[in-house]
Amino acid sequence: MVATTIETSNNHRQLIIPNAYQTAIAQYHRATEHLAIDDNIIEFLRYPRREFTVNFPVRRDNGKVDMFTGYRVHHSTVLGPSKGGIRYSTDVTLDEVRALAMWMSWKCALVNIPYGGAKGGVIVNPKELSQAELERLTRRYASELIPLISPHSDIPAPDMGTNEQVMAWIMDTYSMTAGYSVPAIVTGKPIIIGGSQGRTEATGRGVIIAMMESLKQRGQGNRTDISVVIQGFGNVGSNAAVYAHELGFRVIAVSDVNGGVYNPDGLDIPEVRDYCQENGGVMHYPGGEPVSNADLLTLPCDILIPAAMEGQITASNASDIQADIIVEAANGPTTPDADDILNDRGIMIVPDILANAGGVIVSYFEWVQDLQAFSWDKDEVFRQLQRIMVRAYDETSNMAEKHHVDMRMAAQMTAILRVAEAMKTRGFYP
Ligand code: GLU
What is the CA 168 to chain-centroid distance, rounded?
Answer: 20
Q: DSSP secondary-structure letter at 313?
A: B
- Measured CA distances, 274 to 270, 278, 338, 362 (Å): 6, 6, 35, 26
Q: What is the mean pLDDT of residues 8-28?
A: 74
- Tens of pLDDT along 284-323? 999 999 999 999 999 999 999 999 999 999 999 999 999 9
Quick check: 15 pLDDT over 70?
no
Pocket test of ligand 1: the residue of 363, 364, 367, 389 to mutate, having most ligand atoms within 8 Å of its CB, is 363
Q: Which residues are catalytic?
A: 119
CA-closest candidate to residue 388, choices 202, 239, 228, 158:
202
Please give the distance, rounded to the nearest whole angstrom, from the Cα atom of residue 397 to the centre of ligand 1: 23
Sheet arrangement for strand 303-306: 289-291, 259-262, 250-256, 227-231, 303-306, 325-327, 348-350
Q: List pLDDT tens digits, range 321-331.
A: 999 999 999 99
Provide the pLDDT for residue 17: 65
Angle at 111 between CA 107 and CA 115, to 5 degrees: 65
118 lines ligand 1 (CB under 6 A): no
Rg value, the chain, Cα: 21
Q: What is the pLDDT of residues 219-254, one digit of tens each?
A: 999 888 999 999 999 999 999 999 999 999 999 999
Q: How far is the CA of 360 from the centre of ligand 1 (A)?
A: 5
Residue 374: left (phi > 0), alpha (psi -120 to 50), or beta?
beta
Where do the H-state alpha helices sit in 146-283?
Answer: 164-178, 199-217, 235-246, 269-279
**Domains by residue range for the chain, with CATH:** 48-195 (3.40.50.10860), 200-355 (3.40.50.720)
Residue 3 pLDDT more than 50?
A: no
Residue nearest to atom 8 of ligand 1 (CA): 360
Plot region of 428 (φ>0 → left; ψ -120 to 50 → alpha; else → beta): beta
Note whether 117 and 80 are within 8 A (CB). no
* 376-429 pLDDT tens trace: 999 999 999 999 999 999 999 999 999 999 999 999 999 999 999 999 999 999
Please tell me if the CB atom of residue 235 comes closer than 6 angstroms to any atom of ligand 1.
no
pTM over 0.85? The answer is yes
Beta pairing, strands 154-158 & 82-89: parallel
Residue type, 348: M
- Ligand 1 midpoint to CA 196 (Å): 14
The number of angstroms, rounded, from the C-alpha of 96 to the middle of its chain's C-alpha atoms is: 12
